[in-house]
Amino acid sequence: MRVSPDTRAAPMLNRRTKRGIFLGVAVVAAAIAALAWWSRAGAIIPAAQDQARQMRVEVIASYPHDRGAFTQGLLYDGGVLYESTGLEGESTLRRVDPKTGRVLQTVALPPPLFAEGLALAPQGLVQLTWQNDTGFVYDAATLAPRRQFKYSGDGWGLCFDGASLAMTDGSDTLAFRAPDTFAVQRTVRVTMDGTPLRSINELECANGSVYANVWHRTFIVRIDPATGLVLERIEAGGLLTASEADGADVLNGIAHDPSDGTFYITGKRWPKLFKVRFVPAGA
């Protein structure tokens, strides 16, 4: 029997179709597997609106800073800097002239206290300790101790937003506490580009945002306190020369000057304090 051309072509067409379907399924399966691997690796690119804006510091001026100060907390008020310095046996609360670096007044904390973050609230200057479960309130004008209070967990950074004290404990969480009782009012998890941001350190509340150092990183972040989303990543590396960086520790210390919108930044054992603006990375 003679086979028509159409009849012979049908099986070939079926084989080609099946081969194409098989290859298509294989490609899709490979893409799904790759997507899953990248997701596990944390490499999925977040939505554009979740990406932190890239910023940098613009140095306006630099001033001397006590190289012996293991800076843990920094704030600016009334033309002076208030600084909390850490380490057991070296912890202090200080009033400092920002332009000369001269320490105007010091209160020493006895061992085993290890001082940490510092904020100015209506109750006075509030100072945390690292793992001593103890905080202190001082008179801002005289640095006279007013009272002690207790809390549990690590104390790292602290700032006052006008209503609450924002606190970090080295994790990816900001805890907002009542300034009078130090009771936790709410918490928020901090994320940058879709990933939890841990080791949040010294804090500064300014302009409705929370600015934060990140331990062992050369950038500062601006956080939306309502959502925990990092809105800006501000690069602050390379501020010290090679000789200045010798013996210096990590970037730590942010203080806002509301009179002109600038910030003071420094680090642990840094010989300099920098007055800066935060500007777009490409500017």
- Contact between 92 and 110 under an 8 Å Cβ cutoff? The reply is no
Per-residue confidence (pLDDT) for residue 283, from 0 to 100: 77
- Contact between 105 and 139 under an 8 Å Cβ cutoff? The reply is no
Indicate if the pLDDT at residue 205 is higher than 70.
yes
- Contact between 133 and 150 under an 8 Å Cβ cutoff? The reply is yes
**88-127 pLDDT per residue, tens:** 999 999 999 999 999 999 999 999 999 999 999 999 999 9
Cα–Cα dist 219/212, whole Å = 9
Phi, psi of 140 (to 5 degrees): -70, -30
pTM here? 0.82
Indicate if the pLDDT at residue 7 is higher than 60.
no
Cα–Cα dist 199/257, whole Å = 25
Per-residue confidence (pLDDT) for residue 49, from 0 to 100: 52
Per-residue confidence (pLDDT) for residue 282, from 0 to 100: 85
Token output for 72: 């843990």
Token output for 264: 């003071």
Task: Give 70-129 as a DSSP string.
Answer: -EEEEEEETTEEEEEE-STTT-EEEEE-TTT--EEEEEEPPTT--EEEEEEETTEEEEEE
Indicate if the pLDDT at residue 37 is higher than 60.
no
Per-residue confidence (pLDDT) for residue 38, from 0 to 100: 39
Helices (H), the chain: 5-40, 242-245
Report, as an integer, the average pLDDT of 253-269: 97
**CATH assignment of 49-280?**
2.130.10.10
**238-247 pLDDT per residue, tens:** 999 999 999 9
Pick the range with the lowest mean pLDDT from 21-25, 109-113, 202-206: 21-25
Band the pLDDT of 50: cuts 50, 70, 90: confident
**Average pLDDT of the chain?**
87
Per-residue confidence (pLDDT) for residue 168, from 0 to 100: 97
